């Protein structure tokens, strides 16, 4: 993997770059002290309400973006939760959002299919474009938008109905009642979610009778049933045991390429394993965004390294 050339990147601030161009492996005491100082400075400045430009790696500009977030801000009532987030989400790739709790990664994810509309007092600024079309414009059909985005939540939330009905729910609400179509979609989605083998003989049992990991894969099957453009995964493994998590991770890797996946996770290893690109967020600010290997091995910013290695956060 070639090392990124930070100087070429238009958004990169040179002063900051100088601070972070240190050898990451340097273990001498002075280097550590400087690191700590820098980190404190940058994060303290953000905590103090200052906005610092994000460190965005240039490779991302080479990818074709399906979703482009431009200077997106969001307020819950008077409290601002996202500050001028700008991201390009590459098509057909897995993009992970990482960061400590409360950093706004779930909020960003939920803004993509406008689930935040359901919360009273949410206000946004900036823009998000799917295929060069704004999704925040007032005339956008939210229902159609959501149909283009499958979403999977932190806690498995199968509906109180049969496995079959759970999977074909997106089609049912579209009024599709053709049994053959439904069955075909059900099988395809369940195979896609690697659940077909486990449930094919009991499609008419309640979705709630499955185990937690199976329930989460059922939710993924539901999310891909309507063949969405983007798959939004909000900490999909946080309520699952390691074995189930592993299955869901394998699934995410398989889904990459077929779908554009945006995944929020708290688990560094998971982000490193499944994603192509990783964005590190802190207190509503996008700090660094780049290829996953780079972010986890040689990030531009000390803060990112500290977070991914567990020194802070």
Min dist CB 221 to another protein, Å, is 12
CA separation for the pair 84, 127 (Å, rounded): 10
Nearer to another protein by Cβ, of 228 and 290: the residue is: 228
Q: Which of 149, 102, 98, 115 is nearest to 308 (CA)?
A: 98
Which residue spans within the chain are E strands per DSSP?
55-56, 65-76, 79-90, 94-98, 122-130, 133-134, 149-152, 230-234, 260-264, 277-282, 285-291
How far does CA 57 lie from the centroid of its chain?
Answer: 17
70: how many CB neighbours lie within 10 A of its CB?
A: 14
Identify whether the C-beta of residue 9 lies closer than 8 Å to the C-beta of residue 58.
yes
Nearer to another protein by Cβ, of 76 and 169: the residue is: 169
Nearer to another protein by Cβ, of 57 and 146: the residue is: 146
- Burial (Cβ within 10 Å: 0-12, 13-18, ≥19) of residue 297: middle
CA separation for the pair 38, 41 (Å, rounded): 5
Min dist CB 185 to another protein, Å, is 13
Instruction: Rounding to the nearest 10 degrees, give the CA dihedral for residues 96, 101, 102, 103.
Output: -40
CA angle in degrees (0–180, nearest 5) for 61-66-72: 80
DSSP one-letter code for 57:
-
CA separation for the pair 166, 88 (Å, rounded): 32
Min dist CB 107 to another protein, Å, is 14
Nearer to another protein by Cβ, of 171 and 274: the residue is: 171
Nearer to another protein by Cβ, of 48 and 118: the residue is: 118
CA separation for the pair 54, 67 (Å, rounded): 18
161: how many CB neighbours lie within 10 A of its CB?
A: 15
Min dist CB 265 to another protein, Å, is 18
Footprint on this chain of another protein (rule: CB under 8 A): 113, 115, 118, 120, 143-147, 149-151, 153, 155-161, 169-170, 172-174, 206, 208-209, 211-212, 215, 219, 222-223, 226, 232
Nearer to another protein by Cβ, of 31 and 208: the residue is: 208
Min dist CB 131 to another protein, Å, is 17
Nearer to another protein by Cβ, of 166 and 275: the residue is: 166
Min dist CB 132 to another protein, Å, is 21
Nearer to another protein by Cβ, of 23 and 141: the residue is: 141
Q: What is the pairing mode between strands 65-76 and 79-90?
A: antiparallel
């Amino acid at each position: 993997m070639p090392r990124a050339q930070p100087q070429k990147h238009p958004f990169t601030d040179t002063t900051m770059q100088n601070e972070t161009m240190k050898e990451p492996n340097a273990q001498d005491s002075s280097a550590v002290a400087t690191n700590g100082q820098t980190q404190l400075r940058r994060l303290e400045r953000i905590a103090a309400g200052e906005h610092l430009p994000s460190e965005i790696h240039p490779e991302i500009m080479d990818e074709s973006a399906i979703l482009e977030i431009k200077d997106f801000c969001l307020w819950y009532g008077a409290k601002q939760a996202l500050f001028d987030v700008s991201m390009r989400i590459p098509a057909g790739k897995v993009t992970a959002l990482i960061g400590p709790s409360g950093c706004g990664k779930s909020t960003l994810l939920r803004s993509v299919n406008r689930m935040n509309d359901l919360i009273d007092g949410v206000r946004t600024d900036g823009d998000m474009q799917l295929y060069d079309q704004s999704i925040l414009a007032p005339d956008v059909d939210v229902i159609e938008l959501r149909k283009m985005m499958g979403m999977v939540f932190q806690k498995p939330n199968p509906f109180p109905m049969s496995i079959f009905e759970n999977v074909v729910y997106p089609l049912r609400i579209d009024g599709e009642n053709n049994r053959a179509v439904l069955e075909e979609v059900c099988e395809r989605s369940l195979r896609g979610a690697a659940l077909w083998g486990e449930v094919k003989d009991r499609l008419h049992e309640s979705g709630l009778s499955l185990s937690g990991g199976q329930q989460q894969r059922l939710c993924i099957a539901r999310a891909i049933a309507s063949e969405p453009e983007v798959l939004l995964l909000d900490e999909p493994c946080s309520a699952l045991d390691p074995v189930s998590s592993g299955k869901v991770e394998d699934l995410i890797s398989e889904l990459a390429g077929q779908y554009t996946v945006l995944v929020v996770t708290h688990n560094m290893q998971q982000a490193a394993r499944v994603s192509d690109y990783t964005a590190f967020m802190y207190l509503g600010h996008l700090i660094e965004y780049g290829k996953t290997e780079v972010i986890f091995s040689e990030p531009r910013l000390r803060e990112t390294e500290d977070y991914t290695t567990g020194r802070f956060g």
